[in-house]
Amino acid sequence: MEQKLDADVVIIGGGIVGAATMYQLQKRSPDKRILLLEKESALADHQTGRNSGVIHSGIYYKPGSYKATNCVNGRRELVAFAREHGIKHDICGKLIVATDPEELPRLKKIHETGMANGIEDMREVDAAGIREIEPHCEGIAGLHVGCTGIIDFRGATEKMAELALGMQAGSRVHLGEAFLGIEQKEDHSIISTRKGIYRAARAVFCGGLQSDRLAKSDGVKVAERIVGFRGDYYDLTEQGKHKVKHLIYPVPDPRFPFLGVHFTRMTDGSIECGPNAVFTFKREGYGKTDFDLKDTMNALSYGGTWKLFLNNMAYGIDEYRRAFSKRLFLRTLQRLIPTLTMEDIQPGRSGVRAMLLGTDGNMVDDFRIERSGNHIHVLNAPSPAATAALAIGTRIADMTLEG
């Protein structure tokens, strides 16, 4: 007897990648009924809503990589989307600033990578050029990337879901509905949640911080493991806000998988400084002392975690010291803006980044999307996934319709 389907496609995860997938798939197939399941009471409640809000240019990523092509294409599509639908954003540009002569070759390499990736509106600046753009910033050389911007990623996520729902009366977004399990049959899948059971022809997993666990629950073998890194921010106070006008980044150290502490002017006019990057004892824990036994044991029982710690011991210790010391955090910020004082900064929010960590202790750098029968899993979508979300959503829509 043929089973009646509750949806043609079920998407698990309501961050920006999940919402962009729903939007792109609904545009391509307005007749399909799509169900988006999100365990929190709002969309974009984890990585999407807690990142730095930057529209990345694509300047850092290996030419030809999935990250590079999707960031550049996704960024342009995201900006057009924001303009069309009134999402708060500003293409304000950013400065990448070298403060030490040993950083100059790395800055040049970044510029070359940007050219290889087709990044528009880049120009080299000297010390005077830096001060012309950011009067309180000091450096010996810089790279101005005019196409970088800021955006309200929560607003963009909500609008994508809203537009998708407007295309098909049978599509739904269910909030506060945690995924429990899935069973793949010959011609459909059965998805269990805390509130019900759904039958769908296809399923897409966009679980972010929980992506490896979701894959495992679906019988997908993933050698790597998600390890969370909390990023803490400081805000510039009213007396310090005038010292930053746009976005200011250091030259990243290639030995470490993060871009370094930077300054970001947000869409509401506030200025954030950060984030640092410290191992978190709870995947969805945003407090400095948050702890979850399952998450901790999952990370510390994995050999790749210990290799990461051993390979980056000094860096990790410095990050933890900064996490609990306002003075040390300030000292890092003063490398770019020497006149900052303790009174110029105050504690801000925190976020957690999901990093797919290999057994060798190295981060999986590129995006990873895999198929398992009629299911698609987004296994790795670190920054700049939010910028690239519409491009990623297009790819997932293609894969869904191909299957």
pLDDT tens digits for range 244-266: 999 999 999 877 767 789 999 99
The answer to whether residue 81 is domain-embedded is no
The answer to whether residue 145 is domain-embedded is no
Instruction: Give the confidence band of 1 by pLDDT, cuts at 50, 70, 90.
Output: very low
| pLDDT at site 257 | 66
Nearest to 110 by CA among 295, 288, 249: 249
Residue 31: other Cβ atoms inside 10 A: 9
The answer to whether residue 139 is domain-embedded is no
The answer to whether residue 337 is domain-embedded is yes
Q: Are residues 165 and 299 in the same domain?
A: no
Are 66 and 117 contacting, i.e. CB atoms less than 8 angstroms apart?
Answer: no
Q: Are residues 11 and 42 in the same domain?
A: yes
Q: What is the pLDDT of residues 306-325, one digit of tens each?
A: 999 998 888 788 888 888 89
What residue numbers bound the domain in which 319 lies?
225-240+257-363
SS3 91: coil
Nearest to 121 by CA among 98, 92, 84: 92
Rounded to 5 degrees, what are φ and ψ at 320? -65, -40
Q: Is the entire prediction scored with pTM above 0.85?
A: yes
The answer to whether residue 397 is domain-embedded is yes
Cβ-based burial of 166 (10 A; exposed 0-12, middle 13-18, buried ≥19) = exposed
Q: Are residues 375 and 358 in the same domain?
A: no
The answer to whether residue 130 is domain-embedded is no
Beta bridge partners of 190: 183, 199
Q: Are residues 178 and 43 in the same domain?
A: yes
Q: Are residues 39 and 166 in the same domain?
A: yes
Q: Are residues 393 and 311 in the same domain?
A: no
Number of structural domains (the chain) is 2
**Over residues 37-61, mean pLDDT:** 96
Are 130 and 124 contacting, i.e. CB atoms less than 8 angstroms apart?
Answer: no
Residues 6+ apart with CB under 8 A from 147: 57, 75, 91, 93, 119, 120, 121
Q: Are residues 348 and 304 in the same domain?
A: yes
